[in-house]
Each structure stands twice: as structure tokens, then as C-alpha cells.
Amino acid sequence: QVQVVESGGGLVQPGGSLRLSCVASGGSFNLYTMAWYRQVSGKQRELIARIFSTGRTFYEDSVLGRFTISRDNTKNTVYLQMSSLKPEDTAVYYCNSVVSDYTWGPGTQVTVSS
């Protein structure tokens, strides 16, 4: 089954940090451009960071300088290190390839609140 499972979310205070993980099953993970997305209730899912198979990365302006995406192809895993978190980062976070090669996972909830 070609799927992903996200983990690592939780409740954190503004300015805090979290590290999200996403483990992929099946497919050709090492060849895919992988991405992290987030979705606020009632809004569309948005892509916030991507990492090519080469390791090159791109970020949306809203997270640039605060979030870092990385991957470990030996573990079929992509990570999102989040720092300097803000209340507006509160969302459900998902991972997938940029063309949705995987069945969408359940996501992991990140809540930034004091």
C-alpha cells in the first residue's frame, strides 16, 4: 500500500519548536520530490516546503527561515523541523510527494498557543 503517516505534532507555546516526521510506504520514495503541506480548518491545504531527490529545498515565504525540511532515503522518511513557531502556524500538517503519489495520511495537528 502506497501511503504516508505523519507524526510529531502537539501543543507548543509561541516561539517554541517541534519536529515532524513522515514515514512513507511503497512507491519510489528516493526519486520523489517530497513536500510538507498544512491545512487550517475551513481553508485549502497549502504546500509550505519541498525537497527534491537531490536534497535541494524550497520554502514558502511564510515559513522561510523558521522551518527546515530534510529527508532520509534509507528510512523513507521526511522531516520538518519547525522553530520560532507562531499562533498562525496552527494547522494540521501533512506530507506527500508534490504530485500526490501517496494516499494522503491522517496528518498531525500542530497547535501554537500560550
Mean pLDDT of 51-71: 97
3-state secondary structure of 34: strand
pLDDT in tens, 38-52: 999 999 999 999 999
Whole-number Å distance between alpha carbons of 84 and 18: 9
Whole-number Å distance between alpha carbons of 95 and 83: 18
Could you tell me which residues come within 8 angstroms of residue 55 by beta carbon, excluding any fewer than 6 positions away?
71
pLDDT surpassing 80 at residue 107: yes
* Side chain identity at residue 87, one-letter code: P
Tell me what pLDDT residue 83 has.
Answer: 98
pLDDT surpassing 90 at residue 72: yes
Mean pLDDT of 65-94: 98
The Cβ of residue 44 has, within 10 Å, a number of other Cβ atoms equal to: 7
The separation between the first and the last C-alpha atoms of the chain, rounded to the nearest angstrom, is: 39
* Side chain identity at residue 96, one-letter code: N
Share of the chain above pLDDT 90, in %: 94
51: nearest Cα among 74, 32, 67: 32
96: nearest Cα among 20, 18, 12, 34: 34
